[in-house]
Amino acid sequence: MEPLIAHKWKRLDDLPQNWQDLCREDLTAVQKQWKEDRDLIRDDTKIQKIREKLALQWAIETGIIERLYKDDRGITVQILEAGMEALGKFHAQGRISKEARALITDQRAAIKMVMMDLVGGRRALSDSYIKELHDCLTLSQETCPAEDPDGNRTSVELLKGQWKKQPNNPTRPDGSIHEYCPPEFVQDEIDNLLKLHEKHTHDHVCPEVEAAWLHHRFTQIHPFQDGNGRVARALTSAIFLKADCLVLVVRDAEHRDRYLDALEASDRGNLKPLVDLFADIQIGDLNEAIHSVREIRGQPIVSLAETIAERALRRKVASQEQTNEVTKHLIDVAHTRLNEVAGELERAFKDKDVSSLDARVQTNEQDQQDWWSWQIIEAAKKQKYYADLKQSRRWVSLSLKRPDFDDVVTKFVISLHAVGRAADLHAAAAFLTWPLEHEDESGSRSWHCDVVAEPRFRVRAETVKVEAAENNFRDWLERVIESGLSVWGENV
Q: Any known ligand binding at 294? A: no
Q: Any known ligand binding at 233? A: yes
Q: Is 200 an annotated catalytic residue? A: no
Q: Any known ligand binding at 228? A: yes
Q: Any known ligand binding at 226? A: yes
> Please, are residues 198 and 75 in contact by the beta-carbon 8 Å criterion?
no
Among residues 8, 15, 7, 12, the alpha carbon closest in space to that of 190 is found at 12
CA distance 350 to 356: 7
Q: Residue 47 is which amino acid? A: I
CB-based contacts of 355, cutoff 8 Å, min separation 6: 349, 402, 404, 405
DSSP of 273-323: HHHHHHHHHHHHHHHHHHHHHHHHHT--HHHHHHHHHHHHHHHHHS-HHHH
Q: Any known ligand binding at 227? A: yes
Residue 146: its H or E element: strand 143-147
Q: How many of the other CB atoms lie within 10 Å of CB of 431?
A: 24
- 185-192's contacts with Cβ under 8 Å and 24+ in sequence apart are 185/11, 186/221, 186/223, 187/127, 187/163, 189/11, 189/12, 189/221, 189/223, 190/127, 190/130, 190/163, 190/221, 190/223, 191/127, 192/11, 192/12
CA distance 106 to 128: 19
Residue 244's region, left for phi above 0, alpha for psi from -120 to 50, else beta, is left
Catalytic annotation, pick one of 215, 216, 222, 417: 222
- Torsion sign across C-alpha atoms 258, 261, 266, 271: negative
Please tell me the total number of residues recorded for the chain in this structure: 492
CA distance 66 to 227: 9
DSSP at 244: T
> Please, are residues 182 and 206 in contact by the beta-carbon 8 Å criterion?
no
Q: Any known ligand binding at 29? A: no
Q: Any known ligand binding at 332? A: no
Q: Any known ligand binding at 231? A: yes
DSSP of 21-58: GG--HHHHHHHHHHHHHHTT---HHHHHHHHHHHHHHH
Active-site residues: which are they? Answer: 222
Binding residues for ATP: 226-233
Binding residues: 226-233
